[in-house]
Amino acid sequence: MSTTGSGAPAEVSQSDRLGTLFEELSELAGQRNAIDGRIVEIAAAIDREGLLGITGARSVAALIAWKVGTSPRNAKAIVTIADRLDEFPRCAAQLREGRLSVDQVGVIAEHAGEGSDDHYAQLAQSASVSQLRTALKLEPRPEPEPVADPLDDDKPPAPPPVPQPTVTSTGSDTDYVYWQLKLPHLDSAKFQAALQSHHDGLIAQWKHDHDDESNEQQPPWPTVGNAFMTLVEAGWDAEAYRRPHGQHTTVVVHVDADTDVAALHLGPLLTSEERRHLTCDATCEVWFERHGRPIGTGRATRTVGRRLRRALEHRDRCCVVPGCASTRGLHAHHIVHWEDGGETELDNLVLVCPYHHRAHHRGLITITGPAHRLAVSDHTGQPLKPGSLARPPTKPPPDVGTYPGSSGERADWWWYNPYEPPLRN
């Protein structure tokens, strides 16, 4: 800070203050980029050396998002760069040196064509992420595979794509959530007939319950929307076993009363792990045999009832394995299996996604309880803990140059020459 002739400190101008902050920002951004470059190399090493299986994570991207504490989108960009490190050595080197950001290199790795490393390494030095996206859209795409000639007798034409039903949410406001339904003609006819049937039933019930049309307190006339909700509720109540958390079929197991060897009905023998996995959360029908002859059968029941299932969903909300946030298609897992004396109660039940449920019964992860003191570990016995591995640094920041950033100028694309892949013979 400079001083005046009287010895009083002079005020620093806003431009000088901004310049100081920009210098620090560039230095920090360069260090951050270099750190991200090292994270990319670690992700590549985990994938290359096959270390993912002992972590309990379902993918390298999920592992990075969990351990680094970043978003799934950023983790995907890191893994995308890691997958194409050999194809983009110059871009990766500039990332490690702090001169490019992981977002810039991630866009290039996700969309750029083969052999374009030099082209985009030069362009990225002055282009923002949005400008790189535009440049990549201008890159000529490879020619599509030729379509078979329908008149060619030697090659039968490819079958037309089968229309698929779709249900999408189009938005919401303070009162409603809006959905869009698209059905093929046959499915649409089924849906329309079912909807009309429920609508007619609601109208008949309304007329039966409210004969006096002069009564001002009677409920409104049933609408098609009311009919749709009764259709949903009828399917929900009548076929609860077909919900996403249940199995689509009853598991019929034949168990030898002397040896505990089990097999599927008209199917193969089951290992101990397969038997426990199938009977953890399913509708079970167990037949007891001795010397190959049936000696008794238990009635078909769900191992986890509907009320207990609701309480379990309210408590756990998602898969209990650390780092996994799956909320759909979850299985109710017995911590101590019911065939070993484990009770079907909340303290002995947890929700796990299908991936981690199979991993547990294959011995890749271990789940021990009770539920309020749950411990999850990998196959080596190392505990899996929630939260990222981030901690205060013990080493100095990377010694790299400052990050220059993009030029900040508006791009005039009329002068830009998109990357064109070399012609192949």
pLDDT at 214: 56
pLDDT tens readout for residues 355-408 = 888 888 888 899 998 888 999 998 888 888 888 888 888 888 899 988 888 888
For residues 5-25, average pLDDT: 78
What is the SS3 assignment for the chain? CCECCCCCECCCCHHHHHHHHHHHHHHHHHHHHHHHHHHHHHHHHHHHCCCHHHCCCCCHHHHHHHHHCCCHHHHHHHHHHHHCCCCCHHHHHHHHCCCCCHHHHHHHHHHCCCCCHHHHHHHCCCCCHHHHHHHHHHCCCCCCCCCCCCCCCCCCCCCCCCCCCEEEEEEECCCCEEEEEECCHHHHHHHHHHHHHHHHHHHHHHHHHCCCCCCCCCCCCCCHHHHHHHHHHHHHHHCHHHCCCCCCCCEEEEEECCCCCEEECCCCEECHHHHHHHHHCCEEEEEEEECCEEEEECCCEECCCHHHHHHHHHHHCCCCCCCCCCCCCCEEEECCCHHHCCCCCHHHEEEECHHHHHHHHCCCEEEECCHHHCEEEECCCCECCCCCCCCCCCCCCCCCCCCCCCCCCCCCCCCCCCCCCCCCC
Domain closes at, from 114, 138, 162: 138
Same domain assignment for residues 357 and 315: yes
Domain boundary among 78, 106, 138: 138
Mean of the pLDDT values across residues 81-110?
95
Mark whether 318 and 353 lie in a shared domain: yes
Looking at the predicted structure, is the pLDDT value of residue 81 above 90? yes
Question: Taking residues 16-44, what's their average pLDDT?
Answer: 93
144: pLDDT strictly greater than 60? yes
Position 153 pLDDT exceeds 60: no
Mean pLDDT score, 43-53: 91
User: Does residue 23 sit in the same domain as residue 131?
Assistant: yes
pLDDT band at 248 (very low <50, low <70, confident <90, very high): very low
pLDDT: which is higher, 334 or 285: 334
Are 368 and 260 found together in one domain? no
Asked whether residue 226 is domain-assigned, the answer is: no
Q: Which domain holds residue 93?
A: 14-138
pLDDT band at 217 (very low <50, low <70, confident <90, very high): low
Q: Quick one: 277 and 310 in the same domain?
A: no
Q: Mean pLDDT lowest for which of 17-26, 110-119, 243-252?
A: 243-252
**346 falls within a domain:** yes
Greater model confidence, 396 or 175:
396
Model confidence band, residue 169 (pLDDT cutoffs 50, 70, 90): confident
Q: Is the pLDDT of residue 156 over 70?
A: no
Comparison of pLDDT for 210 and 200, the residue scoring more: 200
Q: Does the residue 146 lie in any domain?
A: no
pLDDT tens, position by position, 282-294: 566 666 666 666 6
The larger pLDDT score, comparing residue 308 to residue 61, is at: 61
**pLDDT (0 to 100) of residue 136:** 92
Residue 162 pLDDT grade (very low, low, confident, very high; cuts 50, 70, 90): confident
- 332 and 258 in a single domain? The answer is no
- The residue-averaged pLDDT of 286-315 equals 69
pLDDT for res 308: 85
Residue 12 pLDDT exceeds 80: no
In the chain, the percentage of residues whose pLDDT exceeds 90 is 26
Query: At residue 243, does pLDDT exceed 50?
Result: no
314 in any annotated domain: yes
In a domain, 357, yes or no: yes
Q: How far is CA 179 from CA 67, 198, 235, 270, 407, in A?
A: 36, 20, 19, 44, 43
- Is residue 178 in some structural domain? no
Question: Is the domain of 350 the same as that of 372?
Answer: yes
State both tokens at 72: 């799934």
Same domain membership, residue 258 and residue 370: no
Neighbours of 285 (CB within 10 A): 16
Cα separation, 285 vs 300, in Å, equals: 4
Asked if residue 196 belongs to a domain, the reply is: no
129 with 19, same domain: the answer is yes
21 and 129 in a single domain? The answer is yes
Q: Give the chain's mean pLDDT.
A: 80
Average pLDDT over residues 149-174: 72
Of the residues 302, 320, 342, the one at which a domain ends: 302
Instruction: Indicate whether this model's pTM tops 0.75.
Output: no
Residue 8 has pLDDT above 60, yes or no: no
396 domain-assigned = no
Which comes out higher in pLDDT, residue 271 or 244?
271
For the chain, the domain total comes to 3
Is pLDDT at 41 greater than 60 in this prediction? yes
Average pLDDT over residues 215-222: 69
The answer to whether residues 257 and 372 belong to one domain is no
Residues 48 and 63 in one domain: yes
Q: Is residue 190's pLDDT more than 90?
A: no
242 or 11: whose pLDDT is higher? 11
